[in-house]
């Protein structure tokens, strides 16, 4: 027997083409948990049936486990061996057997937060993707589905609440102050959906009556004292259940739905069958502690995890290469839900902003991969913006190509055909083809090719006839030098700017070839083209339009997304010109006029106006440039911000003088009103008005909710006023006992545009409230730093050094979270040689560490590839 925990991880690459079905079926598993924070004893009894034609041993995956006992059909069994971290049991000629394996683990020592771990005195699990093998030996692959019966027992005072998947079918008290419960999940599921929670929790309870009239008990479990902050999550859950019935015809399938909130969690939340486990950040919200964005995050993630019950649980993934099958589809579903609950236009703008900020850079860098990857070393590294957000765009394109009715026919067929199965992306596309009556042969390239397609567009004139010429190219990405053109829906409309009624009606063209010509018909003058409306395809559209045309579209387009795009493009063109040393006052004036024009609608649609008039981020400006110059970008952006603030001073002051909408009002109008006031404060501050810090402090102190309080604090944090220190101190005093709000205190300082932000991060890392054990806290301080372009890329390399130090310190504790900090260092090709060299050496320094995790090794070594 080898000691599993001392076996170094092998850099094994797993290939999609190597998929083979598992040799055994495991229709039933009975588990027994004797729970203890330091020493939990687990028995897993698997009913197995051979599927392979020839005799095969039973190969069970483990991670850091040792065997405490093996029995076959009730008899002690010695014919087994460890194969690295895994367990191989020889079963001779047997076709069926009941195999029991005992393991003993220490949840308190589990700092990776994968498997069974302790968080704030409770015990909880995280099994996706490969955490179940840290609890018990098991094939631990998503295509092995079993019915689980789970008996759990523990100290009643320490763990008064015992939860697992499905329904509680029995419970009772045992000896020595212990108690137990038996949970049965009637639905076969893969091991990654297993969950268990034991702790001192209180529930907010409600119920939902499904469309067929069944009553479902709903509970949101939190630590005592947090119950008052679960109402928004509960409402979101009920709205999600109702929405999935109305929009997809999908009903919930158990009598009980439990949600548990835990403070220490690697990701947002997890869709375990009947027992979702959430990062507290996506459950807890009240006006005093949560911003409007936090409220939206809660609603979106509650919906996301609930929707997984069908897109993920009832139909799961055959293997992890199919991850986007459940994640892309489920993100698309939660995006549509949130659009229905609030403002559709604003939601689309936000989603595209996220795609451009997180996914486009990924697709343009060394970690680029298709939404269905061909290979990986560590699957945790593939929970990416590409799989999730680009994956959602691919589903959205199919919905656009098909229209609502045929798309629904496609999803109905998909759910009917594959209910209870572990399916593939190909299964989904085929259901769309068969149910929606469409040929998606070429469209499948979206699953195969990485890289963001470019559409180069030009207008051709022939007399009064106008034609749009669209040239498509997909850039080379690692391992994919040559690309083929993609099929995609391109939504457009053309207007005559002279006010005549010449127009090309809104329509969707399906692009196929490398070059397409779209006849627009007759226009006396060059028409204004509204292109890729609603962002119908996830591409970079390159189309030369003058400031006049963009300003006209920003004012007149009837698609709010296209209006937003036109104004952003106008700003971007001015900013890029300024960064490269050009740019004149006419560029600025065109932007100021367009912002002024948009501001006149502030009362009617504050949510849209707030989105439209905010300048593009520094990172997005950088994405437009051959070589990113972080300092010049910051200077140009601040200069434009200042110019706008000075000219439109009166409008912005007026917005701040009016009373803010009450924090309890979460309508799109109220949220937009608050957002707009934050934008106004930003402009006035950039303009350098002497009373700006007082205005910010007044907003900070008078705020009746967190949205305005945080917005004011963030604006103050950029500067060096006395008000800044006052507000930071008051905020800390008021909220230092609330972990989620304290995260904001770290975050705003890390977001600061001050030159000394890297030093501030270094100092805050020594703060008694900072800890590497809590992923939210790590992200608040260091994630915010990598999102602060000029600070992270400060010319002396201090930002890179801080992130490399963090990765090295965090890797042995929590490799998953450590690995997620690496991609910003991999963008070195986009920067000047001085910065690029320092970024590479930071990566090399990480890789030189002995005993590095597979997670960090994969991300750092791939990030170095030219
Ligand atoms: N399936 C989860 C979701 O998207 C993601 C998730 C939660 C996860 N925890 C994880 C992925 C841990 C990997 C590791 O809803
Ligand atoms: Zn998900």
Q: pLDDT tens digit string along 412-428?
A: 999 999 999 999 999 99
Residues for the chain: how many in total?
866
Centre of ligand 2 to C-alpha 266, Å, is: 13
330 lines ligand 1 (CB under 6 A): no
Catalytic positions, written as ranges: 305
Fold designation for 737-866: Zincin-like fold (1.25.50)
C-beta 270 within 6 A of ligand 1: yes
- Angle at Cα 531 formed by Cα 526 and Cα 536, nearest 5°? 165
| Ligand lying closest to the C-alpha of residue 334 | 2
454-544 fold: Immunoglobulin-like (2.60.40)
CA distance linking residue 423 with residue 22, whole number of Å: 15
Q: Which residue bears the tokens 């069908």?
A: 310
Atom 15 in ligand 1: residue holding the nearest Cα:
270
d(CA 563, CA 264): 41
Buried b (16+ CB within 10 A) or exposed e, 6-23: eeebeeeebeeeeeeeeb
Q: What is the Cα–Cα distance from 526 to 777, expressed in whole angstroms?
A: 53
Do 1-199 and 454-544 agree at the fold level?
yes
Please give the CATH architecture assigned to the domain spanning 315-448.
Orthogonal Bundle (1.10)
- Burial class of residue 543, CB neighbours in 10 A (0-12, 13-18, 19+): middle
Q: Atom 3 in ligand 1: which residue has the minimum CA distance?
A: 270
**Contact (CB, 8 A) for 839 and 825:** yes
Give residue 51 CA to ligand 1 midpoint distance, Å. Answer: 30
- Residue nearest atom 12 of ligand 1, based on CA coordinates: 128
Three state DSSP letters for 566-585: HHHHHHHHHHHHHHCCCCCH
Mutate which of 112, 265, 269, 311 to test ligand 1's pocket (most atoms within 8 Å of Cβ)? 269
Residue of the nearest CA to atom 1 in ligand 1?
Answer: 270
* Domain boundaries along the sequence of the chain: 1-199, 315-448, 454-544, 737-866
pLDDT at 581: 86
Residues 274-288 have pLDDT tens digits of 999 999 999 999 999
**Cβ–Cβ under 8 Å, residues 561 and 352:** yes
In our burial notation (b when 16+ CB lie closer than 10 A, e otherwise), range 127-147 reads bbbbbbbbbbbbbbbbbbbbb
- Give residues with Cβ within 8 angstroms of 769, minimum separation 6: 736, 742, 746, 777
Whose tokens are 């699990």? That residue is 125
Ligand 1 proximity of 126 Cβ (cutoff 6 Å): yes
Rounded distance from Cα 403 to ligand 1 centre (Å): 30
Alpha carbon distance 784, 317 (integer Å) = 33
Ligand 1: residue of 378, 383, 779 to mutate (most ligand atoms within 8 A of CB) is 383
266 CB near ligand 1 (under 6 Å): yes
Which ligand sits nearest to residue 302's alpha carbon? 1
Distance from the alpha carbon of residue 851 to the mean position of ligand 1, in angstroms: 25
Does residue 393's CB lie within 6 angstroms of at least one atom of ligand 1?
no
Strand partners, 504: 494
Answer whether 19's CB lies under 8 Å from 80's CB. no
Name the stretches of the chain with pLDDT < 50.
1-7, 9
Please state the atom number of ligand 1 nearest to the C-alpha of residue 380: 13
- Whether pTM exceeds 0.95: yes
- Closest ligand 1 atom to 305 CA: 15
Taking the centre of ligand 2 as the mean of its atom positions, its distance from the CA of residue 221, in whole angstroms, is 20
pLDDT of residue 14: 98
Judge contact between 196 and 124, C-beta under 8 A.
Answer: yes
Question: What spatial distance separates the first Cα and last Cα of the chain, rounded to whole Å?
Answer: 42
841-845 LR contacts (CB < 8 Å, sep 24+)? 842/797, 842/800, 842/801, 842/803, 842/804, 843/804, 845/804, 845/808
From the options 2.160.10.10, 2.40.170.20, 2.60.40.1730, 3.40.640.10, give the CATH code of 1-199: 2.60.40.1730
Q: Are 451 and 475 in contact (CB under 8 A)?
A: yes
């Amino acid at each position: 027997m080898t000691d599993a925990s001392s076996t170094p991880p092998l850099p094994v690459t797993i290939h999609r083409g190597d998929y083979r079905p598992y040799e055994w079926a495991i229709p039933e598993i009975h588990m027994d948990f004797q729970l203890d924070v330091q020493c939990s004893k687990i028995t897993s009894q698997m009913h197995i049936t051979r599927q392979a034609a020839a005799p095969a041993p039973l190969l069970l995956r483990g991670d850091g486990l040792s065997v405490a006992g093996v029995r076959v059909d009730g008899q002690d069994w010695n014919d087994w061996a460890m194969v690295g971290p895994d367990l191989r049991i020889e079963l001779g000629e047997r076709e069926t057997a009941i195999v029991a394996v005992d393991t003993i683990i220490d949840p308190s020592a589990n700092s990776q937060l994968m498997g069974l771990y302790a968080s704030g005195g409770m015990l909880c699990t995280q099994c996706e993707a490969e955490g179940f093998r840290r609890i018990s030996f098991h094939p631990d692959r998503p295509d092995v589905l079993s019915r689980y019966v789970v008996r759990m027992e523990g100290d009643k005072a320490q763990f008064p609440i015992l939860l697992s998947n499905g329904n509680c079918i029995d419970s009772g008290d045992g000896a020595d102050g212990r108690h137990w419960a038996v949970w049965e999940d009637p639905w076969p599921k893969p091991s990654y959906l297993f969950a268990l929670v034991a702790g001192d929790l209180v529930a907010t309870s409600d119920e939902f009556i499904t469309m067929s009239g069944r009553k479902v008990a709903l509970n949101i479990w939190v630590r005592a004292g947090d119950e008052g902050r679960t109402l928004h999550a509960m409402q979101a859950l009920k709205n999600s259940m109702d929405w999935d019935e109305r929009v997809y015809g999908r009903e919930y399938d158990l009598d009980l739905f439990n949600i548990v909130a835990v403070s220490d969690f690697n990701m947002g939340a997890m869709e375990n069958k009947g027992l979702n486990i959430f990062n507290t950040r996506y459950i807890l919200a009240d006006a005093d502690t949560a911003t409007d964005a936090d409220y939206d995050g809660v609603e979106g993630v509650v919906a996301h995890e609930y929707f997984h019950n069908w897109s993920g649980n009832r139909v799961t993934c055959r293997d992890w290469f199919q991850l986007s099958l459940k994640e892309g589809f489920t993100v698309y579903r939660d995006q549509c839900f949130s659009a229905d609950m609030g403002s559709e236009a604003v939601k689309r703008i936000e989603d595209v902003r996220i795609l451009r900020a997180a996914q486009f850079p990924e697709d343009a860098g060394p970690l680029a991969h298709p939404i269905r990857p061909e290979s990986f070393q560590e699957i945790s590294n593939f929970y990416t913006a590409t799989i999730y957000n680009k994956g959602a765009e691919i589903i959205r394109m199919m919905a656009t190509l098909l229209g609502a009715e045929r798309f629904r026919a496609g999803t109905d067929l998909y759910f009917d055909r594959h209910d209870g199965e572990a399916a593939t992306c190909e299964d989904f596309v085929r259901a769309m083809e068969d149910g929606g009556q469409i040929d998606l042969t070429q469209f499948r390239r979206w699953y195969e090719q990485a890289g963001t397609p470019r559409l180069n567009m030009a207008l051709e004139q022939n007399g009064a006839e106008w034609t749009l010429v669209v040239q498509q190219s997909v850039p080379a990405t690692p391992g994919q030098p040559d690309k083929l053109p993609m099929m995609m829906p391109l939504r457009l409309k053309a207007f005559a700017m002279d006010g005549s009624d010449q127009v090309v009606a809104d329509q969707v063209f399906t692009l196929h070839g490398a070059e397409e010509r779209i006849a627009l018909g007759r226009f006396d003058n060059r028409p204004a083209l509204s292109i890729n409306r609603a962002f119908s395809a996830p591409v970079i559209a390159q189309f030369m339009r003058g400031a006049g045309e963009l300003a006209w579209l920003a004012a007149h387009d009837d698609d709010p997304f296209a209006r937003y795009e036109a104004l952003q493009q106008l700003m971007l063109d001015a900013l890029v010109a300024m960064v490269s040393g050009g740019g004149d006052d006419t560029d600025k004036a065109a932007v100021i006029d367009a912002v002024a024009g948009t501001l006149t609608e502030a009362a009617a649609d504050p949510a849209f106006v707030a989105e439209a008039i905010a300048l593009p981020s520094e990172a997005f400006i950088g994405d437009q440039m051959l070589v990113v110059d972080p300092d010049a970008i910051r200077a140009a952006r601040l200069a434009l911000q200042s110019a706008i603030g000075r000219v439109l001073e009166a409008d912005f002051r007026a917005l701040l003088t009016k009373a803010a909408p009450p924090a309890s009002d979460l309508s799109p109008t109220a949220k937009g009103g608050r957002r707009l006031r934050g934008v106004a404060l930003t402009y006035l501050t950039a303009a350098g008005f002497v009373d700006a810090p007082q205005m910010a402090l007044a907003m900070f102190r008078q705020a009746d909710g967190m949205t305005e309080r945080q917005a004011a604090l963030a604006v103050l944090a950029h500067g060096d006023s006395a008000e800044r220190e006052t507000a930071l101190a008051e905020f800390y005093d008021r909220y230092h006992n609330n972990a989620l709000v304290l995260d904001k205190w770290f975050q705003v300082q890390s977001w600061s545009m001050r030159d000394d932000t890297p030093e501030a991060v270094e100092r805050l890392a020594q703060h008694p409230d900072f800890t590497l054990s809590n992923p939210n806290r790590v992200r608040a301080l260091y994630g915010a730093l990598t999102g602060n372009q000029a600070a992270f890329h400060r010319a002396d390399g201090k930002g890179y050094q801080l992130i490399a130090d963090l990765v090295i310190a965090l890797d042995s504790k929590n490799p998953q979270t450590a690995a997620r900090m690496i991609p910003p260092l991999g963008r070195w090709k986009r920067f000047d040689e001085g910065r690029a060299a320092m970024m590479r050496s930071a990566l090399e320094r990480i890789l030189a560490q002995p005993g590095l995790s597979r997670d960090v090794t994969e991300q750092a070594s791939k990030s170095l590839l030219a």
